[in-house]
Amino acid sequence: ILDAFIHQRTVAYENLSFLSQEEESLYKKVNHTERPYPYFQNIQEQFHMQVERHSNRIAIATETESLTYRQLNMSSNQVAQHLLEKGIKRGDKVAIFLDRSMNSIVSMLGILKAGAAYIPIDVKYPEDRINYIVRDSEACRIITSNKFKSHLNVSDYKVSIIEDIYRTTINDDVKILNKPDDLAYVIYTSGSTGKPKGTLLTHKGVLNLVEWRNEVFQISPNDKVTQFYSHSFDSSVSEIFSTLLNGAELYLLSDEQRYSTVAYAQAIQETQATISDLPTVFFNELSTSLTKPDSEKIRSLRFIIMGGEAASTNAIRSWQNTFKNQVQLVNEYGPTEATVSAMYYFIPVLEGDNNLLGSIPIGIPISNTKVHILNSYMQHCPVGAMGELYIESVGLAQGYWKQEEKTKQAFISNPFSEDNSKRLYRTGDLARWLSNGNIEFMGRKDKQVKIRGHRIELGEIEDAMLQLEGISQAVVTQTEDGMLLQVYYKTVDGIGIEKNKLALHLS
């Protein structure tokens, strides 16, 4: 910088480079991520290839039932044919209001085959949020079941019952083809409070994600992959499609197996699962609750991929003290706006120099993705300096549905590209480069937090608190373990408000 001041006196400060030649070389090396992927296809074409290759292999299984690739194809064809008969066309959006089940995955594939995009809605959402998502998204139709139909409570929705769809006899393959840039799914983010944003994700983003996962984790038809996340959470996209587009078997964990570490370990042993995506908070519980005898139960696992929150060094050490390097642990980072994953880090055994890690890095970018850590002048930060993390990727979302201003704020023109169509996603996350080329997560710029992987704006909860009569001030914080939110408030008259009234207002 001093050299620049001496030799480039007329250059404005914001146009200076803070990087040494070595750092510029490091940036270029880490961001050299161009890889081939099936950019010319769509999700359903890739799925059909697996049906032809592995027709009689198990595609999806639960504790009590299973579907082969042929059966999954036929059932999803029934959904597609039904939607086409109801007038659904390419580019439309169809909501799925089902529990985390085989029916939900059948519906996803059927909607895609009809040329539409799916919108997953969790049946456990509050009624107001369910209605908001359906209305805001302008979904042309909702697929639900007899069990959950009564939860909708709105007469003007066009509803299809999955049990009725299965009674139809037409299950021929549908010939509608989407383009790679077409919308594949919509995930509503920013949590259980305020008005969530509909994030628009494409076919090519999913295919790039699947191709990267296949390359890094070597997923094959011999793999069994667990399915943990709610289908309204974007990590389910990675679990489902990286399995079904590689001919592997997807095992849907039961609720008990998702909440109990003992039941989870037993499920791994019984299914001989090889790959498991887990929320970081669940992995942390696993690291302290499983014992050495349990190592036999999880021996089949090749990878545990954690994400949603910052990985805990203490939890990693606790795990490795028991299991050593029996399972490769992977820390995965990525916002919904970048099609689930943007970066990953293979966690080494924390001993010797590695044991000095203050935190677990989020690693390096995935295929066809570049990362930039920039200061307020949009200059690249040198190694060790904290800045805001920006993502450049073929997996970037189209934007936010009907929120043009927020889209412009989050998805900006790429100042490092001569192509005006190239964009950067402003994550709001703070990070820094490490000298070995990995990136370390340093927190948030704003008041957004993550609980069990869900993004929550603390400011939205504070605003909701202030809307309750009698409250004059409100502050919301997250507990140290990241599991709970704490609300502090002041009333106008100094008299407290009933807990039930407060809970009802915020629900």
Give the CATH number of the domain where residue 477 resides: 3.30.300.30
Instruction: Examine the domain organization and report whether 394 and 418 are in the same domain.
Output: yes
| Integer Cα distance of 160 and 37 in angstroms | 35
Residue 109's CB is within 10 A of a number of other CB atoms, namely 24
Higher pLDDT, 401 or 480: 401
* Cα dihedral sign, 98-103-104-108: negative
The answer to whether residues 383 and 389 touch, using CB atoms and an 8 Å cutoff, is no
Rounded CA separation 419/442 (Å): 31
Contact 230, 239 (CB under 8 A): no
Strand partners, 117: 93
347, 318 in Cβ contact below 8 A?
no
- Residue 346 located in a structural domain: no
Q: Same structural domain for residues 457 and 405?
A: no
User: Which residues are paired to 96 by β-bridges?
Assistant: 120, 143
Same structural domain for residues 412 and 458? no
The string of DSSP letters for 420-459 reads TT-EEEEEEEEEEE-TTS-EEEEEESSSEEEETTEEEEHH
How confident is the model at residue 192, as a pLDDT?
A: 43
Closest Cα partner for 40 from 204, 234, 269?
A: 204
418 and 453 together in one domain: no
Element (H, E) at 216: helix 203-217
Is residue 382 domain-shared with residue 416, that is, in the same domain?
yes
- At position 375, the amino acid (one-letter code) is N
* Residue 375 sits in the same domain as residue 426: yes
pLDDT single digits (tens) 189-237: 864 446 789 999 999 999 999 999 999 999 999 999 999 999 999 999 9
Query: DSSP H helical segments within 114-182, as ranges?
Result: 127-137, 162-166
Do 427 and 453 have their domain in common? Answer: no
The two most distant CA atoms of the chain are separated, in Å, by 79
Q: How far apart are CA 81 and CA 72, in angstroms?
A: 14
Tell me whether residue 411 is in a domain.
yes
In this structure, of 34-43, 156-165, 321-330, 494-503, the range with the lowest mean pLDDT score is: 494-503
Q: What is the dihedral angle through the alpha carbons of 212, 217, 223, 227, rounded to the nearest 10 degrees?
A: -70
| Residues 463, 418 share a domain | no
Give residue 413's pLDDT: 96
**In a domain? residue 345:** no
Q: What distance in Å separates the CA atoms of residue 463 and residue 282, rounded to the nearest whole number?
A: 30
Instruction: Kindly state the average pLDDT of the residues 419-446.
Output: 92
- Secondary structure of residue 192 in the 3-state scheme: coil
500 within domain boundaries: yes
Whether 433 contacts 26, CB under 8 Å: yes
What is the rounded distance in angstroms from the CA atom of residue 483 to the CA atom of residue 318? Answer: 19
Token pair for 355: 């044991």
Residues 401 and 453 in one domain: no
**What whole-number percentage of the chain has pLDDT above 90?**
69
Chain-centre distance of CA 493, in angstroms? 44
Q: Can you tell me the mean pLDDT for 332-354?
A: 89
- Which of 407, 433, 459 is the last residue in one of the domains? 433
**CB–CB of 311/344 below 8 Å?**
no
262-320 pLDDT, tens digit each: 999 999 999 999 999 999 999 999 998 988 888 889 999 999 999 988 888 889 999 99
- Report which of 429, 288, 440, 445 is spatially closest to residue 358, judged by C-alpha positions: 440
Please check whether residue 303 lies inside any domain of the structure: no
Backbone dihedral angles phi then psi of residue 316, each to the nearest 5 degrees: -65, -45
Instruction: Give the global pTM.
Output: 0.87
The verdict on residue 202 lying in a domain is: no
Mean pLDDT, the chain, rounded, equals 90
Q: Single out the residue of 230, 203, 250 nearest to residue 98, CA to CA.
A: 230
Q: Is there a single domain that holds both residue 372 and residue 410?
A: yes
- DSSP run (H or E) holding 312: none
- Give the whole-angstrom CA distance, residue 366 versus residue 295: 30
Closest by Cα among 475, 43, 398 to 197: 398
Identify whether 42 is part of a domain: no
Is residue 356 assigned to a domain? Answer: no
Using an 8 Å Cβ cutoff, are 435 and 382 in contact?
no
Q: Which tens digits make up the pLDDT trace of 76-122?
A: 999 999 999 999 999 999 999 999 999 999 999 999 999 999 999 99
CB of 391 within 8 A of CB of 371? Answer: yes
Confidence band of 177 (pLDDT split at 50, 70, 90): confident
Confidence of residue 145 (pLDDT cuts 50, 70, 90): very high
Number of domains in the chain: 2
| Whole-angstrom distance, CA of residue 35 vs CA of residue 366 | 10
Please tell me whether residue 154 adopts helix, strand or coil conformation. Answer: coil
- CATH number for the domain spanning 393: value is 2.30.38.10
Tell which of 402, 433, 464 closes a domain: 433
In tens, the pLDDT along 376-403 reads 999 999 999 999 999 999 999 999 999 9
Q: Are 337 and 386 in contact (CB under 8 A)?
A: no
CB 141 within 8 A of CB 196: no
Q: What are the beta bridge partners of residue 66?
A: 61
Pair of tokens at residue 396: 């970037």
Residues of the domain holding 478: 449-506
